[in-house]
Amino acid sequence: MRPLALLLIAALAAGPVMAAAPKPSPRAAAPADWSTRLATTPQGGVLMGNPNAAVKLVEFGSLTCPHCRHFHETGLPVIKSRWLASGQVSYEYRPFSLNGVDLMAGLLMQCQPAAQAWAFVDRVYKRQDELMRPFMAIPESERTRIQGLPADAQGPAMAVAGKLPEFAAAAGIPRARYDACIAAKPGSDRLMAIRSDAVQTHGLQGTPSFLINGKMQTVFDWASLEPLLTAAVANAPKRTK
């Protein structure tokens, strides 16, 4: 509800009493577009929107999952325009590692500031085929060689064979930064913690999976999630700030 306009008091001047020319009422500040607010979270995700929103949506998404890409392209834009912008809902993306490519790409996401991390997620989903094609083309002999390396060297070696450094460079991550991200143990620890929490605490069965206010929903696509999110917003307290 907009605040009532303030009444202006007429000024007194020498001579005849004259009413002062009306001054424009102060304009109420435009509401913030919460969908432009990004922050990293302690869990290792990226939070979009009002951190105090009454409805908190969390996605466990795999960067290599076509179904996650479909949600990113179809569901998330609706959520942003319908609820995120107004501050009614917040959205957190937590990278779930289904495979080694997820793990390596997740490390690149993890070590970026929030805006760059989200830009990387967005780029991966837009160019998911471009990301995956070189990995699918790795010769079997090279895969066998990499599998013979020490366990902690296999992921980075497979990423190089799959041209992940080149993909990262095109996304604005230079090689020195790439190497630092891949080697960062806190990032890998957070990714493993996300996976453990999703599977062991919330019973994740596939990606994408969603929490609404901390409760896992047994749906995996936007068509099924939409009515659940709509109901959550309808039943939530109206205070969003």
Assign 14 a pLDDT band (cuts: 50, 70, 90).
very low
Termini Cα distance of the chain: 15
Q: 3-state SS string over the chain? A: CCCCCCCCCCCCCCCCCCCCCCCCCCCCCCCCCHHHCEEECCCCCEEECCCCCCEEEEEEECCCCHHHHHHHHHHHHHHHHHHHCCCCEEEEEEECCCCHHHHHHHHHHHCCCHHHHHHHHHHHHHCHHHHHHHHHCCCHHHHHHHHCCCHHHHHHHHHHHCCHHHHHHHCCCCHHHHHHHHHCHHHHHHHHHHHHHHHHHCCCCCCCEEEECCEEECCCCHHHHHHHHHHHHHHCCCCCC
**Least confident among 24-33, 81-90, 111-120:** 24-33
Q: What pLDDT, in 10s, does the model give residues 43-63? A: 999 999 999 999 999 999 999
- Residue 18 has what pLDDT? 34
- Residue 205 has what pLDDT? 95
In the predicted model, what is the mean pLDDT of residues 219-226?
A: 97
**CA nearest neighbour of 34 among 71, 73, 89:** 89
Assign 126 a pLDDT band (cuts: 50, 70, 90).
very high
Assign 238 a pLDDT band (cuts: 50, 70, 90).
confident
Q: How far apart are CA 49 and CA 87, in angstroms?
A: 6
Is 55 in contact with 30 (CB distance < 8 Å)? Answer: no
**Least confident among 12-16, 19-23, 197-201:** 12-16
Assign 195 a pLDDT band (cuts: 50, 70, 90).
very high
Q: What pLDDT, in 10s, does the model give residues 145-182? A: 999 999 999 999 999 999 999 999 999 999 999 999 99
Domains of the chain: 37-235 (3.40.30.10)
Q: How far apart are CA 45 and CA 106, in angstroms?
A: 10
Assign 141 a pLDDT band (cuts: 50, 70, 90).
very high
**Least confident among 169-178, 195-204, 232-241:** 232-241
